[in-house]
Amino acid sequence: MKSAALAKFFTNEMKKSDSPPAIALDRASAEPLYRQLANTLLRMIDAGELAAGRRLPSEPGLMAEYGVSRITVRQAIALLVRHGKVSAHRGKGTFVSGRVVRHDLDALQGFYAALRSQGIEPQTKLIEWSVDAGAFDDGRPVGTDLPVRLKRLYSIDDRPFALVVGYLPQAAAALGKARAERLSVYEILAEFMEVHVARAMVAIRCERASNEVTRLLGLQKADMVLVMERQSFATNDQPCEFMRIYIVPERYEFRLSVAGQFEIARAVHLVPS
C-alpha cells in the first residue's frame, strides 16, 4: 500500500472511532422501530452528544446508519418534534431544540421576570422605541391610549426565541430609549411611572408568523408561532399597558395550576373569526 493511501486509510479509521457507534435497534421487540429510533436520538440529545442547535443527520444518513426505511425515520423525527425535542425547518434540516422555558400563569408576573425566576438570563435587544408609533398601530386594543411602542428581541444561547411588542401610556415617552433598554415593561410602569398593576388579562393562541416575525426569529415563511397577549390595568381600572409576544413554539411552555377540577370542554368558548 502506498504511503498516501496508507495515511488516508488510518485517517478514515480514526474518524470512525471518534463518532459514537450507532445503537442497534431490536427488531424482535414489540416496540415499533420508529419509537426505538426516537428514543435512541433522545438519549443522545440528553447526553449532549447532539447539542442544542446541532443539525440531526439527514434522512438517508439515519436510514443507512440504523438500517430502517424512510417512513420509520420520518415517524421518529415527527415524534421528537411533537415533544419539542427537535424542530424541522424546510430546506434547512432538523435541529435539536434549545432549553424549554416554562411560564407559570398562576401569578401576575412580567415576561422577563418569568425567565429570571427559572435562573435564565436571556439576551435582550431593544430594536424599537417610538413615542408615537402606537397611536397609529392597529395592533393595540381599540379605545386604549397607549401611543408609546417598543419592540424587544429575546434570545437564549444566542438563538432568538421571542419578540415582544409593547404599548405604553404617553407618560412613558420621557423615559428615553437608553433607559428603556434596561427596563422591562412592568419595571417601566413601577419604577418610572409609579403605576401599580392591579390585574391583567392574558390570551394565548397560535398563528402563522408575519414576515417581520419570521425574519427576526429566524423562522421559515410558513412557520407558526405562539402569541401571548397581555393587557394590564392599574388600580383605577384603566389600561396601563398592552403586550403582544411572539414565541418560537418548541422553546416555550405555559403552565397553570387550578384548585379543584378543571373541565376543559366547559371552559372552551368559540370566538368569531
The domain 101-256 is classified under which CATH number: 3.40.50.12280, 3.40.1410.10, 3.30.390.10, 3.40.50.2000?
3.40.1410.10
Whether the predicted pLDDT of 70 surpasses 90: yes
Instruction: Write out the H or E segment, with its range, that includes residue 247.
Output: strand 239-247
- What's the pLDDT tens digit per position in 193-218? 999 999 999 888 999 999 999 999 98
Whether the predicted pLDDT of 1 surpasses 50: no
Instruction: Write out the H or E segment, with its range, that includes residue 89.
Output: strand 86-89
* CA distances, 89 to each of 93, 97, 158, 223 (Å): 5, 12, 18, 8
Residue 35 amino acid letter: R
Residues whose CB falls within 8 Å of the CB of residue 209, separated by 6 or more in sequence, listed in order: 217, 219, 223, 224, 225, 246
Whether the predicted pLDDT of 182 surpasses 50: yes
Closest CA to 236 of 185, 270, 198: 198
CB 85 within 8 A of CB 97: yes
Cα separation, 249 vs 30, in Å, equals 32
**Unique residue bearing C-alpha cell 434522512:** 59
- Please, what is the average pLDDT of the chain? 81
Min mean pLDDT across 84-93, 120-129, 143-152 is at 84-93
CATH 1.10.357.10 is held by the domain 11-96: no
Expressed in percent and rounded to 5, the helix, strand and coil fractions of the chain are 35, 30, 40
3-state SS class at 26:
coil
Cα separation, 17 vs 102, in Å, equals 39
Q: Which of 215-224, 237-246, 255-264 ranks highest by mean pLDDT? A: 237-246
**For 248-268, b where at least 16 C-beta lie within 10 A, e where not — what string?**
bebbbeeeeeeeeeeeeeeee
Closest CA to 221 of 212, 234, 231: 212
CB 164 within 8 A of CB 217: no
Closest CA to 137 of 129, 127, 128, 146: 146
Whether the predicted pLDDT of 266 surpasses 70: no
Residue 222 pLDDT grade (very low, low, confident, very high; cuts 50, 70, 90): confident
Whether the predicted pLDDT of 113 surpasses 90: no
CB 97 within 8 A of CB 52: yes
Domain definitions of the chain by residue range = 11-96, 101-256
- What's the pLDDT tens digit per position in 156-176? 777 888 999 999 999 999 999
Predicted TM-score (pTM) of this structure: 0.63
Q: Which residues pair with 226 in a beta bridge?
A: 206, 247
